[in-house]
Chain A
Amino acid sequence: MTNAWTDIKNTDLAIVMGGNAAEAHPCGFKWVTEAKANRGAKLIVVDPRFTRTAAVADYYAPIRPGSDIAFLLGVIRWCIANDKVQWEYVRNYTNATFLVREDYGWADGLFTGYDEEARRYDMTSWEYQIGEDGFARVDPAMTDPRCVWNLLKAHVEVYTPDFVETVCGTPKDRFLKICEMIGTCAAPDRVMTSLYALGWAQHSKGAQNIRGMAMLQLILGNVGLRGGGINALRGHSNIQGLTDIGLMSNLIPGYMNLPRDSEPDFATYMASRAFRPLRPGQTSYWQNYRKFFVSFQKAMWGGAATAENDWAFDYLPKLDIPSYDILKMFDMMAKGEVNLYFCQGFNPLMSFPNRAKLTEGLSKLKLLVVMDPLQTETAHFWENHGAFNDVDPAAIQTEVLELPTTCFAEDEGALVNSGRWLQWHWPAATPPGAARGDVWIMSSIFRRVRALYEAEGGAFPDPILKLSWDYADASEPTPEELAKEMNGRALTDLADPADATQILLAAGRQLQTFGQLRDDGSTMCGCWIFSGSWTEDGNMMARRDNSDPGDAGMFLNWSFAWPMNRRILYNRASADLAGKPWDPARKLIEWDGAKWTGYDVPDIGVTAKPGEVMPFIMTNEGVGKLFSRKGMVDGPFPTHMEPFESPVENLLNPALRGNPAARVFPEDLAQMATGDEFPYVGTSYRLTEHFHTWTKHNLVNAALQPEFFVEISEQLAAEKGIRGGQQVRVWSKRGEVWAKAVVTKRIKPMICAGKTVHVVGIPLHWGFTGVARKGWGPNSLTPFVGDANIQTPEFKAFLVNIEPVEGGPLA
């Protein structure tokens, strides 16, 4: 989220697209109802199904799964054509005025530089024209045909309301009505918020879906404002924390990158991370990367990380490929290339695509370790559960260790919510049986591994032997110790750079902010963005003061929000060029003539003069990017792409399949179906009654939604002779499931490119463990391909077939 849950109450218009907030985030959704009840805000829902969010919406439109980019670029086209643009914002706060290289272009659904063989773009041309002064060239009048604004106008020209209707199946009148509602928020005193979730992320072009909305919000001038922003509703209570702390194969904490093979030394690694400002006087905050990185290395290896050894740069593993994401790991597993797999709080057998391939992979492991509070299907993948898990245990040699862990209600620590709030929590219950905390388990394993290295040596034992481990109880670092380490502290007295006689922070003191970090080894910090969360004043995450000055929805003394307790990112953009709030009734921060003040922590140097330093301080440009340069592997603008499995071809280029820049393994591509073989569009989702595959272990949740079902329209039901409540078989090119049929008016057939498209809705909460009835998940059916940028699996649009069944395996 750029904003916070509590800020949603400030909006004039909430659009839920690519998500189902009422259903999957009912508690957060309360802020939408607040905005509706108290501000008269409107709610729009765009979804393939009429969801529980749609049930309380002011306006709903259907959309074919996987066609969101066409819809969003259609809205952008409409806004430009109808002058629904916040011009002052666009001109000053976005890169609309920046000039792009002459050799950049787009044709037939592809950007310049595409290599079909490698399924990859050469991004050289996706760049600004750089002047002799080293800065990007701009045209403030926006008349140059190479300026981003004019390129964008040309780029979206194809996305007419008719094109949107043809591709998305959204009736034109509904699309236009939504355009009009959205268009009202181009006014400086009207603000729209976008709430989305995996409905946008789980596509092979998921990141570009989100880009589409981010661009629209920039054009409307809605980023950085109260009630605005682009707000990812995280699907798991601490998945924000997971990404923050860098639990990805290619990241280290605080959104820094693990080095690549091509970066064998620190100097090379840093060379591509200079983050030089592309416009004069801009902040480009990532210029501090070296401080964050060195402080992280000091947190990891303490005294062993020195200037002489480049801060232990060699201790970090180097990636030989872009990432070892989960799809890649399971692909390797299925090829017999993985021996040991640790599953910590993760149930991939029910949550990753192509279950048959997952089972194959797990069956080829030597050892599978599962750390979980619940008995997961993954831990029991080798058990035969009849049709529900039809495997031959005798043929599976994988050894499985289940290590029962505590759950969130049984331990202490912080969860990071969608709004980046680190909220400390305390145990509410005693762990059952032999359950132990994850920290104890991991620490105990680490100590044993370290003892083995101590005893036996190894090719390069230093990263293990020299790992900093200064905890009172080496077997169980406390939540407080870990949190303080992530916040960081001074290792030596930190002198004021302006006056060496002044000590800003004494050795051993907790950092107040990441602004105090140094790149000379005098500070340590486990996760720079968390700096400020546990200071000398104590645990900021445990604060529970719900006072809210100005009724602004900021709650600065409740928990701690990264970065720097800031509740709305880019909040400098909530004021005009002179520093006055766009909407005085919705003031966030303002320039008082000497400094920035207001209800939120300013997202700009507090004395940075308005008109000089632009609001988007994390970008090299200082402004928001309508044209993302080389930030995304699949294009500097979004462009319409079909899902890998689609009932219709890509109207921009029928030869294209899926996202042309997405990684897809050859065996998996061979398992992708066409609309001739599998005529119906499957899509996956959650239900309010359950949380992932956890709550099927709970009696009450199981009673409220006991059994696996799929949802189809009355029309498809009539066509196939399916009755509500009857068993159906749903199958794809990769697997099959049996489910109860829910026949509903909430799903209606759509007409796309002259074809009738039927949607089969497939919720994801059932499996073969727990107290609910045994069932399946959509992942038995879904294709093994992920987003081109971040590898989120394409769960939201795939092809299936369906038939009624008499006497199937269900009750």
Chain B
Amino acid sequence: MTGRAPEPVTAAANPPVEPLEANLGARDVVRASAMPNLPAPDRSLTEVAKLIDVSKCIGCKACQSACAEWNETHPEIGVNTGVYENPPDLSAEMFTLMRFTEYDNPDTGNFEWLIRKDGCMHCAEPGCLAACPAPGAIVKYSNGIVDFIHENCIGCGYCIIGCPFDVPRISPRDNRSYKCTLCSDRVAMGQGPACAKSCPTQAIVFGTKAAMIEHANDRIADLKSRGYANAGVYDPPGVGGTHVIYVLHHADQPSLYAGLPDDPQVAATVSAWKGANKTIGLAAMGLAAAGAVLHGLFGRANRVSAEDEVEAQALVDREREGDA
């Protein structure tokens, strides 16, 4: 090891040749599901964001391809259902999806083909995390990435209900929930997400959130000069802002873009309900320090035992009782 990987500020950079120490991990977790009393990390990373400029997107699906290749998923070879979306929906094998909307613009008389890359928005107030009853199954890092720690997932599906964007999907293979990680494993090594790296038109770019907002503003000025008076950035405040943001030609109507929520909120039921979990979660682990819990949880990747499964099931059973 020659040093710690830098915090990435672009997806364009090539990986270093020398081995580097990962620069994103348990120590950077600021929130974890069902673990309300986490100690604050001893450092704070710069907030990152992925910007998806819908006006530059050609719908080529290179991002989908790169996502499947990087994450080594196996999307099924489906059928054509009369549309360009393939696979037909997000899945545990397809964390991102181009969604195509055909729109006759009544104001201009022009037809528009609105193409939006769908996937996890990495909310500042993640509804999934709030809804998740399994300790440490969903974490949020100080750089804004919301990640699923699959070893801790119990497959209950609450994250799907909690997500205002309908993103996570349970794998029928292992009954765990999957979604875009914002390539947290690449980010840890100073690299931007695979989708941004592969995007031929740089419709997807990556960097600090501040830089992405600045870039978005440049793009919005360009779009306004081309007659898109309502061009704007999509960084919805209802979820505290997001770490995946869009540039939209019609920012006044996000739902034009394959039902992107106009004003997403973390459901009130999820917010109210999460409070009850905290003690259950901690008690279940029987550990004093939440920081230690996290380190323990992260370290489990390669040793999920039958005992773990039983423990998790018991936990969710109790949760469900509590919920009822």
Q: Output the nearest chain A residue to B56 by Cβ-Cβ distance.
A: A33
The answer on a CB contact under 8 Å between B219 and A745 is: no
The answer on a CB contact under 8 Å between B113 and A746 is: yes
Interface string of B49-74 (1 = CB under 8 A from A): 00000011111111011001100001
Q: How far is the CA of A58 from the CA of B108 in the complex (A)?
A: 12
Q: Output the nearest chain A residue to B75 by Cβ-Cβ distance.
A: A703
Q: How far is the CA of A704 from the CA of B110 in the complex (A)?
A: 28
Of the candidates B82, B87, B113, B114, the one whose C-beta lies within 8 Å of that of A741 is B82
Of the candidates B57, B80, B115, B225, the one whose C-beta lies within 8 Å of that of A709 is B80
The answer on a CB contact under 8 Å between A50 and B111 is: yes
Q: How far is the CA of A689 from the CA of B85 in the complex (A)?
A: 11
The smallest C-beta distance from A62 to any residue of chain B, in angstroms, reads 10
Interface string of B104-141 (1 = CB under 8 A from A): 10000011111100000000000000000000000000
The answer on a CB contact under 8 Å between A771 and B82 is: no
Chain A residues positioned under 8 Å from B75 (CB to CB): 700, 703-704
The answer on a CB contact under 8 Å between A723 and B60 is: no
Of the candidates B82, B110, B115, the one whose C-beta lies within 8 Å of that of A740 is B82
The answer on a CB contact under 8 Å between A773 and B225 is: no
Using A33-B56, A741-B82 as known contacts, say yes or no to A703 and B77 having CB atoms under 8 A apart: yes
24 A-B pairs whose Cβ atoms sit less than 8 Å apart in the complex: A23-B60, A26-B60, A26-B201, A33-B56, A33-B202, A33-B203, A37-B56, A40-B222, A40-B225, A58-B226, A689-B60, A689-B86, A700-B75, A703-B94, A705-B61, A706-B77, A706-B80, A707-B78, A723-B82, A725-B83, A740-B80, A740-B81, A742-B83, A746-B102
Is A515 an interface residue, CB under 8 A from the partner?
A: no
Q: Output the nearest chain A residue to B64 by Cβ-Cβ distance.
A: A704
The answer on a CB contact under 8 Å between B86 and A704 is: yes
Q: How far is the CA of A702 from the CA of B74 in the complex (A)?
A: 11
Report, nearest first, the 5 A-B pairs whose CB atoms are least far apart: A724-B82, A725-B82, A22-B58, A703-B75, A740-B80
Using A700-B69, A742-B84 as known contacts, say yes or no to A27 and B74 having CB atoms under 8 A apart: no
Interface string of B182-206 (1 = CB under 8 A from A): 0000000000000000001111000
Q: How far is the CA of A48 from the CA of B113 in the complex (A)?
A: 15
The smallest C-beta distance from A418 to any residue of chain B, in angstroms, reads 15
The answer on a CB contact under 8 Å between A773 and B60 is: no
Is A4 an interface residue, CB under 8 A from the partner?
A: no
Using A37-B222, A703-B68, A704-B65 as known contacts, say yes or no to A742 and B80 having CB atoms under 8 A apart: yes
A715-761, CB < 8 A from B: 723-726, 740-746, 748
The answer on a CB contact under 8 Å between A688 and B58 is: yes
The smallest C-beta distance from A197 to any residue of chain B, in angstroms, reads 15
Interface string of A11-41 (1 = CB under 8 A from B): 0000000000011001101100100110010
Q: Output the nearest chain B residue to A31 by Cβ-Cβ distance.
A: B201
The smallest C-beta distance from B115 to any residue of chain A, in angstroms, reads 6
Chain A residues in the interface with B (C-beta under 8 A): 22-23, 26-27, 29-30, 33, 36-37, 40, 50, 52-56, 58, 60, 688-689, 699-709, 723-726, 740-746, 748, 771-773, 810-811
Q: Output the nearest chain B residue to A59 by Cβ-Cβ distance.
A: B110
The answer on a CB contact under 8 Å between A745 and B111 is: yes
Is B79 an interface residue, CB under 8 A from the partner?
A: yes
Q: How far is the CA of A628 from the CA of B74 in the complex (A)?
A: 55
Is B76 an interface residue, CB under 8 A from the partner?
A: yes
Q: How far is the CA of A680 from the CA of B141 in the complex (A)?
A: 57
Chain B residues positioned under 8 Å from A36 (CB to CB): 222
The answer on a CB contact under 8 Å between A725 and B61 is: no
Q: Output the nearest chain B residue to A62 by Cβ-Cβ distance.
A: B111
Q: Output the nearest chain A residue to B76 by Cβ-Cβ distance.
A: A703
The smallest C-beta distance from B95 to any residue of chain A, in angstroms, reads 13
10 extra interface residue pairs, beta carbon distance < 8 Å, beyond A37-B56, A701-B65, A724-B83: A33-B56, A56-B56, A688-B61, A700-B65, A704-B64, A725-B83, A741-B82, A742-B80, A748-B111, A771-B77
The answer on a CB contact under 8 Å between A27 and B86 is: no
The smallest C-beta distance from B29 to any residue of chain A, in angstroms, reads 32
Q: How far is the CA of A739 from the CA of B263 in the complex (A)?
A: 40
Of the candidates A27, A37, A723, A744, the one whose C-beta lies within 8 Å of that of B200 is A27
The answer on a CB contact under 8 Å between B200 and A706 is: no
The smallest C-beta distance from B141 to any residue of chain A, in angstroms, reads 28
Of the candidates A29, A40, A700, A706, the one whose C-beta lies within 8 Å of that of B79 is A706
Q: Which of A58, A706, A744 has the most CB of B within 10 A?
A: A706
Using A706-B78, A706-B86, A725-B82 as known contacts, say yes or no to A30 and B202 having CB atoms under 8 A apart: yes
B146-160, CB < 8 A from A: none
Of the candidates B55, B56, B64, B77, the one whose C-beta lies within 8 Å of that of A702 is B77
The smallest C-beta distance from A266 to any residue of chain B, in angstroms, reads 49
The answer on a CB contact under 8 Å between B82 and A773 is: no
The answer on a CB contact under 8 Å between B77 and A23 is: no
Using A40-B225, A699-B74, A725-B82 as known contacts, say yes or no to A55 and B60 having CB atoms under 8 A apart: no
Chain B residues positioned under 8 Å from A772 (CB to CB): 77
Chain A residues positioned under 8 Å from B94 (CB to CB): 703
The answer on a CB contact under 8 Å between A52 and B59 is: yes
Chain B residues positioned under 8 Å from A746 (CB to CB): 102, 111, 113
